[in-house]
Chain A
Amino acid sequence: NAGVTQTPKFQVLKTGQSMTLQCAQDMNHNSMYWYRQDPGMGLRLIYYSASEGTTDKGEVPNGYNVSRLNKREFSLRLESAAPSQTSVYFCASRRGTSGSHGELFFGEGSRLTVL
């Protein structure tokens, strides 16, 4: 099992460009998450999907959109990238849905630089 796979691993964008970060999990998990991690700020929740067909905002959703394409895939889109979106992005998944106490499984991260 690959677990949680993120692509691309590295990306450099110019301000105003758009791009999509892809995430796929092969563990048949119901919930999926996107976090960003910045020095001194820890992991901050951008968007999450409690189950296929639902998405909801986290702490820092501005400037991002998401799509839960199917149970396996959850993509994060930057429509018009800004330097403030330079960060490391982590996708994660969890087996349960409502009231789930389960652990998160993380991908290896996507390192995005916006010039």
Chain B
Amino acid sequence: SQKIEQNSEALNIQEGKTATLTCNYTNYSPAYLQWYRQDPGRGPVFLLLIRENEKEKRKERLKVTFDTTLKQSLFHITASQPADSATYLCALDGNDRGSTLGRLYFGRGTQLTVWP
């Protein structure tokens, strides 16, 4: 069955540094991968989507890479700020390419804390 792993449950970094979060998957050939942010007591909020034929995607201070050979995505936040503290989730489409089903599976998330 498909398996999604995010590098660690918690990551603590100092303000101004670059945070790097990892999402690995097995038994999968996703057509795309998404990253979400979740604050305590709130629903996840979409950040970025990257397709299998894209190596890198950027949005402001965020950067996502997608290596289908390594079966890995890296999510970077540059010049991190305390306001970036949240849980970050990666999500992949299910193993039903070309179907109409459109499932989306999530990793367990990495809790990022940025301290001043």
Known contacts A40-B108, A43-B106, A101-B49; is-contact A106 B101 (Cβ 8 Å):
no
Q: CA of A31 to CA of B44 in the docked complex: distance in angstroms? A: 17
Complex interface residues of chain A between 71 and 115 (CB less than 8 A to chain B): 90, 92, 94, 96-101, 103-109
Q: CA of A35 to CA of B41 in the docked complex: distance in angstroms? A: 15
- Is B108 a contact of A96 with CB atoms below 8 Å? no
Return the contact of B43 from the options A40, A50, A99, A106 (Cβ within 8 A): A106
Complex interface residues of chain B between 87 and 106 (CB less than 8 A to chain A): 89, 91, 93, 97-106
- Is B107 a contact of A50 with CB atoms below 8 Å? no
Which of chain B's residues has its CB closest to A98's CB?
B100
- Is B109 a contact of A42 with CB atoms below 8 Å? yes
- The count of chain B contact residues (Cβ–Cβ below 8 Å) is 29
Asked if A56 lies at the interface with its beta carbon under 8 angstroms from chain B, I say: yes
Known contacts A58-B103, A94-B102, A98-B99; is-contact A103 B108 (Cβ 8 Å):
no
Which of chain B's residues has its CB closest to A111's CB?
B41
Asked if B79 lies at the interface with its beta carbon under 8 angstroms from chain A, I say: no
Asked if A34 lies at the interface with its beta carbon under 8 angstroms from chain B, I say: no
- Is A99 a contact of B46 with CB atoms below 8 Å? no
By a beta-carbon cutoff of 8 Å, the part of chain A in contact with chain B is 4, 31, 33, 35, 40-45, 48, 50-51, 56, 58-59, 90, 92, 94, 96-101, 103-109
By a beta-carbon cutoff of 8 Å, the part of chain B in contact with chain A is 9, 31-32, 34, 36, 41-46, 49, 51, 89, 91, 93, 97-109
